């Protein structure tokens, strides 16, 4: 009984530790940051994924130094990343960043990226449906 109690305590502690940073970016190094970004993105509702992903890459594109970037995103939750992404967008747009000239607002940029993602998903699913003969792994053995 004592062993079972100790085992359950260890399992519960591990579960709490694992869940504790589950919705925050781990900025220990770039690999852990990218892994946690991906994990968090996959847990978000579909409507929030594009804005989160664009926000992250807006921040990353703005901060080239790995150490500064990691300290900026470490411990941030999805909402904080989106807010930071908007801030960086506004600063860069105000400074005349050429890539952002085509957008009148953050929302317009996110909408455009969302439409592009939908189109990518559609074309990808169409490619999956079309089965070209050279992609087919089934061979006609009766002709041999």
70-126 residue pLDDT tens: 999 999 999 999 999 999 999 999 999 999 999 999 999 999 999 998 888 788 766
Burial class (CB in 10 A: 0-12, 13-18, 19+), 113: middle
Number of domains into which the chain is organized:
1
* 120 within a domain of the structure (yes/no): no
pLDDT in tens, 17-67: 444 445 999 999 999 999 999 999 999 998 899 999 999 999 999 999 999
What residue numbers bound the domain in which 38 lies?
Answer: 22-114
Give which of 140, 37, 144, 21 is closest to 75, Cα–Cα: 21
pLDDT in tens, 99-110: 999 999 999 999
* 73 within a domain of the structure (yes/no): yes
Q: Please list, in sequence order, all residues whose beta carbon lies within 8 angstroms of the beta carbon of residue 85, skipping any fewer than 6 positions away.
A: 51, 54, 55, 56, 58, 59
Number of Cβ atoms within 10 Å of the Cβ of 93: 17
Helix (H, G, I), strand (E, B) or coil at 55: helix
């Amino acid at each position: 009984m004592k062993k079972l109690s100790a085992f359950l305590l260890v399992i519960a502690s591990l579960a709490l530790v694992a869940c504790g940073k589950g919705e925050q970016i781990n900025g220990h190094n770039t690999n852990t940051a990218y892994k946690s970004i991906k994990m968090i993105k996959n847990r978000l509702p579909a409507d929030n994924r594009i804005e989160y992903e664009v926000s992250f890459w807006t921040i990353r594109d703005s901060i080239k130094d790995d150490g500064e970037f990691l300290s900026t995103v470490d411990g941030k939750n999805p909402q904080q990343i989106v807010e930071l992404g908007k801030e960086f967008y506004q600063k860069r747009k105000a400074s005349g960043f050429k890539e952002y000239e085509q957008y009148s607002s953050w929302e317009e940029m996110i909408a455009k990226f969302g439409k592009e993602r939908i189109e990518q998903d559609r074309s990808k699913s169409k490619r999956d449906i079309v089965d070209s003969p050279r992609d087919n792994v089934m061979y006609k053995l009766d002709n041999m």
